[in-house]
Amino acid sequence: MSVALIRPLVVRTVPVGDPGDLVSCLPDTAPYAWIRHGEGLVGWGEAARAAVPPGPDRFRWARDWMSALFADARIDDDVEAPGSGPVAFGSFTFEADAPGSRLVVPRVVLARRGGRAWLTTIGEDDHDAGHRPGLRTPPTPPGRIRYGDGSLTAPEWQHAVAQAVRQINDGRLDKVVLARDLNAVAENDIDVRFLLSRLSARYPECYTFSVDGFTGATPELLVRHRGNAIESLVLAGTTPRGEDEADDLARGAALYASSKDRYEHVCAVSSVREALAPLCSALNVPDEPELLVLPNVQHLASRVTGRLSDGASVLDVVAAMHPTAAVGGTPTGTALEVIRELEGMDRAGYAGPVGWIDARGDGEWGIALRCGQITGNRARLFAGCGIMGDSDPVAELAEAQAKFRVMRYALES
């Protein structure tokens, strides 16, 4: 189902002065966000919405819906940059056949990037001061937080990891990513702006996002699309941060030297290369990974760049890439079967694509990691780990707990 509250869209984008902290400009209802290092896009209100039908063609359906909606729009864009003009924020479920994927075009989008800032408004009343950035009610902390088991208890999840290891060693597959969830109940309703503020400040290297209460700070860029240029940041192989500087350096060195983690990373990079090669006239894949150091964990990371050979939109690239081995496994089909057998839960948007697309087909989409679904005073948090043949269930549980710390930090004032 799709709804255009304003049809045709009447869009106006104008340069504005530096708005400062983007999160502080958001009102307290249904904020949309995509922020890294203080730059990006935030939005509010709703000009159009699409509930994307489940199925193998969902990304094509979403692209066609966007094209039809924006083709009818009357756009006056004084900025003409990626993210100016009408923009849709979106989140897709991990499983193609699961309901819950959506695209939303906010009535107002405020952006800052590369020393420029702009404001996009949709509707005949785009000069209404109520749509402009200004004084907002301050975010309120959620108060005391109580946590409870999600779909599986910790011992049950460790047992699932052990079963996955056995199947890998029996030759059924090379790698599978197993996720788990954690339930949180707050004393007060959870103000998404409070989470966005804490996440963007604590994890500036990550992409802090929010779409319909689905909120997090992902380190993994699935694809950035600007004109014909694309970029992807592949993460696979993880270790927690150390207790001190010496321990931290030792853990990073051990991760870099780990045959298990290096092979896991090779699988993830190979899946991205195979997905992008048919779309690209040029593709640059690093021979060796680098270390990405975040406040809670360290990752093996590879930055892949390329140039598209035709006019593919960012959603076409997302369709080709999802799911990567970094969040599914290798081989993909078998890994998805094992996930359904062992995880015991619906991932919903966890490990699915999340991001934004503009009328040109440009955009940025990440893999929804370090995230949670916020509903009233409740949050469902997610974390996952790549399981290999020599994975230790105890160590994998510790890694998942380290990844949960991102959203726990955001919630706990």
Angle in degrees, 0-180, between the axes of helices 245-257 and 259-276, rounded to the nearest 10: 60
Under a CB-based contact definition with an 8 Å cutoff, are residues 19 and 117 in contact? yes
Q: How far apart are CA 220 and CA 287, in angstroms?
A: 19
**Count of beta carbons in the 10 Å neighbourhood of residue 171:** 8
Reduced to 3 states (helix: H, G, I; strand: E, B; else coil), residue 383 is strand
Q: Residue 76 forms beta bridges with which residues? A: 12
User: 366 with 199: CB under 8 angstroms?
Assistant: no
Residues noted as catalytic: 175, 220
Residues 6+ apart with CB under 8 A from 153: none
d(CA 81, CA 252): 38
> What is the Cα–Cα distance from 380 to 344, expressed in whole angstroms?
15
Compute the distance between CA of residue 127 and CA of residue 117 in angstroms, rounded to an integer: 17
Burial of 241 (0-12, 13-18, 19+ CB in 10 A): middle
Of 350, 342, 347, 276, give the one whose Cα is nearest residue 306: 276
Structure tokens at 210: 């929010």
Strands 214-218 and 371-375: antiparallel
160 vs 195: CA distance, rounded Å: 31
Residue in 195, 246, 247, 237 with CA at minimum distance from that of residue 399? 237
Q: Is 63 within 8 Å of 173 (Cβ atoms)?
A: no
**Phi and psi, residue 146, nearest 5°:** -115, 135
Host H or E run for residue 364 = strand 363-367
DSSP secondary-structure letter at 25? G
CA separation for the pair 129, 127 (Å, rounded): 6
Amino acid making up residue 310: D
